[in-house]
Amino acid sequence: MLSAVKRYKLLVSGALARCFPRTSAHLRSEEGAVLFRRWSVADAKQSIESVGKPKARAPRKPSKPRAKPRKPASEGIYGPARMTVDNPQIQAMRLRVGKAVEAGVICAPSDEQWAMILSDSPVTRIFAGAGSGKSTTLVLRVVFMLCHMEIPPERLTVISFTNASCMQLREQLLQVLGFWNFAFDPVQARRCVRTFHSAMGVLAKDVLGDPRWFEQLDEKGASAPELDNPLTSSRLRPAQQRLLKQAYQSCYAETARFRQLVHQLLGLAQPAEPASGKRCTRKAPQDVFKLPGEFTSAPLFEVFYAQAGFIESIGIRIDQLQPERMTCSEHERAFVEALILFWNHFQKILQAQGLMTFNAAFQQLAQRLTGEGKNIPAEALAPFSHLLIDEFQDISPQIVQWLQALHRALARQGEAVSLMAIGDDWQSIYGWRGSSPELFIDFDKYFPGKGASKKSRVLMLETNYRSIEPIIRDGESVLADVSFKQSKNSRAAKTAQAGDHGVKLVTRFDIKARLPELIAQIRSQCEYVAARQHADRNAVLVLSRRNEPLRAIQAQLDRKLPVKAYSIHRAKGLQAEVAIIVDDCLPPEKHPLRNALYAYSGFFHNSYDQAMADESLRLAYVAITRGVSRVFWFTQKTQGATRILAGRGKG
C-alpha cells in the first residue's frame, strides 16, 4: 500500500510540475527552509536565485562523509499577514518628516529610503550600499514604528554592532523622537538599542541565572556595565590566561590521550606515562604553537581558545564535534581531538567558578528556546518581538540560530513578530571571526515567511551620498573577483569638482624609507580640504590593515592637523574628505583546519580560503569608499586589490 501511495504522489507531482512550473518551484523552495543548519551545496546554490548568482564552481567532494544534517523545518516564522500600515499613518509620518526637514533635524528621505521607513512586510531585507544613509533611515523607521504604528517601546529592539555604534544611534533616536514629542528618555533608549551580546545578556539574566562572563574577567574583577561585541577587544587578559592555563594543565595531568596529542602537535618526544592509576605530575609543555593559516604563534591553550571561539561562532557545538567526519589531514584532526578534550576541562573550571562564555550563553539560550520555550517568562521575550538589525552582513551562524529560536518561540506563543535586516554584503569584513555575507544572501532559508511566499521583501539603498562617482567606480572594481555577492547599481548623489579624483595608486612605496614623503602628502591634503567649500567635517582619514604603520605615521604627525588614523576594520561607518590608505593587500594564507570546519558546518558555499580571498577585496572596497572626493593608496607591491587598480591605470 505504501509503495502505491508513493507512485501516486510521483505521478501527481510530475503532472503539477508540467502544468504549473512556478507553483512546483515554490513547493520545492519550501522544502529548503532550514531551522538550524546544513544543506547540500547544490541546494544552497539554488537558494540565492532571487538575489544574484555567484560564479559557478564545482564543489569539492569530501574524502569522508559530512556530519549528518539536521532535518529541515519548513514552517515559516513571519506573517502571512502584513504589518498594519494605513494611509493616515503614512500621511502623518510624511507630514512630520517634512517639518523635521524644515527645522534642520533630518535630511529629506529619498524614495528608496521611504520604502524602508514605511515597509509593511513582517520580514524585510535591505541591501544598503556604502554612504546610503542607512543610519538615518533606520532611525526614521524606528520613529514610524513607535509614533505612528504605535508599537510599544518594550516590544522593539534595535541591534547594532558595537557599543560605540549603539551610542550614536541612541543619540540620533533621542533627538528625532524629541522633535516628535514622543516620551522617550536615555534609559529607554539604552534598553531599545543594543549590541547582540547586550541583548543576549539581558535574556541570560532572566533565563540562565545572571551568569558572570569569562570575557569580562580582568585583574580587578570589574564588569563592563553593558556587554559589547568581544571580538573587537584586544588580547586575553591575565585572569583569562590563568583559567585557560589551569584547564590546559588539568587536562594534561588527567588525560593520557591529551598528553600524547600535545606532544605530537608540538613535535616533542612522547612522554613516559605514570604507573597505572597514578596521576601525571609532570608540568604541561609551554612551547608556543603555530596553526597553519594563522599569522602568529601562541601557547597551545590560547590557540585552542581562539579556534574554539571560531568553531562555536560558525554554529558547531564542540561537545558534538566528530573529528573523524572532518575532511582534513591527520594533523588538523589531532588538533581538533585535543581541543575537544581541553574544552571539556575548561568548561568544568568555568562551571566551578560560576562563569560562562558568551558563545555558551547563545548556545544554551537557543536550546532552551527551541525546547518549546518552557520556563521562559513571556516578558523576557517581549523586547525581541520586533527586531531591526544593522550590519547584518557581519552576522555569524551562531547568531542566526539564536535569532531563529527567539522568533520561533514568540511565534509559538501567538505573538506577531517582525524582522528588518539592514546590511551590505560588499562590506562584510569579519569572516575570520565566523561571520559571513552568505547568511545575508541566503536570508530566506533561515528566516522564512508563511503563506504563499516564504521570501522576504528585498529593498535596495543604492544612492551613495558620500563619495563622488570615480571613487564609487574604483571601489566597485576591486570586487570584480569576489565569488559570491549581491549585484547592485550604486549611484553618486555628489558631483565631482575640479581636482577631485578616484584612487591614485602610489606603488613601490616603502613606508620606512619614504615616511617623510607620506607625511608631506598628508599635510598637503589637509591644506586642500581647508580651502575647499562645503568640505566634510573630517578632513583626512589614514587607513591601514595593520596598526604598526598607523603608529609610525601618528608619531611624526602634528597633532593639530585634522587627521584621524584607524585600522580599516575600525573605520567602517566613518568618512573623510580624503582617504589615504597605507598597506599591501597581502594574500591570505591557506587554513586547512578552517576549510574543514567550513565544510563540516554545512553553512557555507565557499571554502574558508576562498572566503578570506574575497574578504581581502571587500576590505579594500571599505577602505576606498571612506573617501568623499579623493583617495590615495600607498603600497609596496601590487597584489590583490591594488593589482586590479593598477590594471585600471590608477598607478
Is the separation of the CB atoms in 473 and 502 below 8 Å?
yes
Burial of 489 per CB tally in 10 Å (0-12, 13-18, 19+): exposed
User: Partners of 491 in the beta sheet?
Assistant: 463
C-alpha distances out from residue 30 to 72, 241, 247, Å: 10, 47, 45
Helix (H) or strand (E) holding 478, with range, is none
Is the separation of the CB atoms in 32 and 47 below 8 Å?
yes
C-alpha distances out from residue 311 to 319, 342, 510, Å: 11, 14, 38
User: Partners of 464 in the beta sheet?
Assistant: 492
Measured CA to CA, the distance from residue 197 to residue 231 in angstroms comes to: 11
Dig out the grid coordinates for 361 from the structure. Answer: 550563553
Q: Which residues contact 563 (CB under 8 A, 6 or more apart)?
A: 522, 526, 539, 540, 541, 542, 557
- 8-state DSSP, 393: G
Residues of the binding site? 128-135
Write the single-letter amino acid at 507: T
Is the separation of the CB atoms in 138 and 158 below 8 Å?
yes
Measured CA to CA, the distance from residue 38 to residue 77 in angstroms comes to: 19
User: Partners of 544 in the beta sheet?
Assistant: 567
Residues of the binding site for ATP? 128-135
Query: Residue 590, SS3?
Result: coil
Burial of 615 per CB tally in 10 Å (0-12, 13-18, 19+): buried
Residue showing cell 579624483: 501
Measured CA to CA, the distance from residue 226 to residue 355 in angstroms comes to: 17
Task: Quote the strand ranges of 165-265, DSSP E.
Answer: 193-195, 212-213
Helix (H) or strand (E) holding 439, with range, is helix 438-441
Measured CA to CA, the distance from residue 318 to residue 314 in angstroms comes to: 11
State the angle between helix axes of 256-266 and 300-313 in degrees (0 to 180), rounded to the nearest 10. Answer: 100
User: Could you write out the three-class secondary structure of 315-327?
Assistant: CCCHHHCCHHHCC
Nearest to 134 by CA among 165, 163, 167: 165
Dig out the grid coordinates for 544 from the structure. Answer: 591601514
Query: Residue 116, SS3?
Result: helix
Dig out the grid coordinates for 294 from the structure. Answer: 594563522
User: Partners of 505 in the beta sheet?
Assistant: 633
Q: Kindly report the length of the chain.
A: 651
Nearest to 280 by CA among 247, 255, 306: 255
